[in-house]
Chain A
Amino acid sequence: MITSTAWIIITAILVATSCALVGTFLVLRKMSLMGDAIAHAVLPGIVIAFLLTASRNTFPMLIGAGLFGLLTVWLTEELSKKGRIFHDASMGIVFTTLFAIGVIMISLFAANVDIDQECVLYGEIAYVPWDLWVWRGTNMGPRPVWILGLVLVINVSFITLMYKELKTYSFSPQLAATLGLPVGLIHYGLMGTVSFTTIASFESVGAILVVALLIVPPATAYLLTDRLHRLLLLAVFFGITSAVGGYYMALWINSSIAGAIAVVNGLQFALVFLLAPKYGLLGKKLAGRRIRKSGPEMISHPEPNDVRKSLS
């Protein structure tokens, strides 16, 4: 039998891995906060799914939330394209409005039932082992583990299959378009996986801390490598180590697990930011000193003609 500790850690690892994979592309596209926006804006979708099915069944909620995730992305883009509004402002307008609509819907139609706003915002991974999926009388184990496992499979397949498309699109959407790559499919595919990932991670880490797992591990990894595939692997590594480290830190100081995971994320980033050999503060300082000591020929190796041009 798998212990409840193991279930919690498995859940945290699944969330962290899924988030790190799609988060990497969000960070590279300079759309990090889109995850935050989606995480909030899906609330009406969850409520509508709940009202329609009159149950807390996860799959209708995933679909409702997924649709609202894509709606958020689409509305954000249309507003900034068609109107005189910056992209980030447009995102702020769309997601706060949708979230507010969700809040009002809960208080109007579902006040006396069990959709807990606090649970949506903060999540509670410690309950995962008791949220069991019983299928034809057989106990299949915790439901969130199945859902998060499915999301991870979707994310891994999406990124493996569309790797060259995603790489080109994150490098330059314009270039991707002129190469005839299906930019719409790439963009909405990515946003779709971000939506699913965010929603599936809700119950365990909550809407706010999921943003930490989407952004911080990829941003940490970005300071350590110059290659996309290594960036993805390193982001997953930081995600998983923060998940496991966060769990034990929470046990040790007797606090919220999700909170501890995000704090470990932050600590990892701080360490790498200071110590990374090439792009960390220390690395940059050492490189600067080395250059000053050895003279200008160490800076790089410009071709003679580059020098000629810069002198003229």
Chain B
Amino acid sequence: MNEIEQTRNPTGNSSNPPLEVHDLTVAYDQKPVLWDIDFELPEGSLTAIIGPNGAGKSTLVKAAMGLIPASSGYTLIYGKPLDKQRHRVAYVPQRESVDWNFPISVMDVVLMGRYPHLRLFQRPGRDDRDVALAALKEMGMEPYHKRQISQLSGGQQQRVFLARALAQDASIYLMDEPLAGVDAATEDVIFQKLKELRDGGKTVVVVHHDLQSVPDNFDRAMLLNLRMIACGPVSEIFTDENLQKTYGGRLNILSQMIEESRQQRFVRESES
């Protein structure tokens, strides 16, 4: 049934945004950790979720994916409830959230991305292996496909996670800190891949910890601190006022950082 829907409507329904979250509130032990979050994201966008530690960035992604119970709220994927649309959403969890000593190979992990395309009981076939290998190649990890996953560096593990998401061939990508603790080369590869996905019409949302690299690499941002402070194009919402609201007293250091990065970019642009 899903395939029929997709062929009739390859990029989804144009009147419905790929991802909308409404009225989302999450509480732990009666204490709200996310309050009344409401947003819609357009097709072909690359959004960073940023905010201080404990702002609820990961919680937002997990609750939107239905992984943790929400007090209220719902997620729509192309106007339809999430449960029927899971195959269209690729979620990349935080690297620390899985057991890297688990007895499986890199290839096995990437093949998991194909499971939404398979029926219950059905095993992945040759086509799925080809897709998985191609995804590994895109992330520069093809030579490692037979390795046990514990024998990878942090950056390599993250690339394997991204290859898994690519193999899923989804419309929406939700990634929880994919750039945390990775090496510089992996960071470049990942940023490049995120942009390619966006340019291919995908909707990409990334929980991100590095405020400074947002203007250069993302076109939209969500500023989060328990509530949604601002959500929109980076050029519009990256104002001192919004950042002050998001980060509170720590603004000074941060606005300096952004000022520095602006100057660096200016220098680079004037040099080239």
A residues in contact (CB < 8 Å) with B: 28, 84, 161-165, 167-168, 170-172, 174-175, 177-182, 222, 225-228, 230-231, 300, 302-306, 308-310
Known: A28-B102, A162-B121. A300 touches B151 (CB 8 A): yes
Within 8 A of A (CB), among B7-44: 29
Contact A222 B103, beta carbon cutoff 8 Å: yes
The residues of A that contact B184 with a CB separation of less than 8 Å are: 305, 308-309
Contact A161 B121, beta carbon cutoff 8 Å: yes
The residues of A that contact B150 with a CB separation of less than 8 Å are: 226
Known: A163-B123, A165-B120, A168-B112. A180 touches B86 (CB 8 A): yes
A221 shortest CB reach to chain B, Å: 9
B6 shortest CB reach to chain A, Å: 15
Q: Which of B90, B104, B120, B186 contacts A167 (CB 8 A)?
A: B104
Known: A172-B93, A225-B103, A227-B104. A178 touches B112 (CB 8 A): no
Known: A222-B103, A309-B183. A175 touches B116 (CB 8 A): no
Q: Answer yes or no: B267 CB below 8 A from chain A CBs.
A: no
- Bound Cα distance from A252 to B104, whole angstroms: 41
- Most A CB within 10 A of own CB, among B109, B151, B153: B153
Contact B148 A174, beta carbon cutoff 8 Å: no
Number of B interface residues in the complex (CB < 8 A): 41
- Most B CB within 10 A of own CB, among A165, A170, A180: A180
The residues of A that contact B183 with a CB separation of less than 8 Å are: 303, 305-306, 308-310
CB closest residue in chain B, given A171: B102
The residues of A that contact B104 with a CB separation of less than 8 Å are: 167, 171, 226-228
Contact B115 A168, beta carbon cutoff 8 Å: yes
Contact B97 A174, beta carbon cutoff 8 Å: yes
- Bound Cα distance from A162 to B121, whole angstroms: 6
Q: Other than A165-B120, A172-B97, A178-B86, give 18 A-B pairs with Cβ distance below 8 A.
A: A162-B120, A164-B115, A164-B123, A167-B108, A170-B102, A172-B93, A172-B98, A179-B115, A180-B87, A225-B103, A226-B148, A227-B103, A228-B108, A231-B103, A302-B153, A305-B184, A309-B155, A310-B183
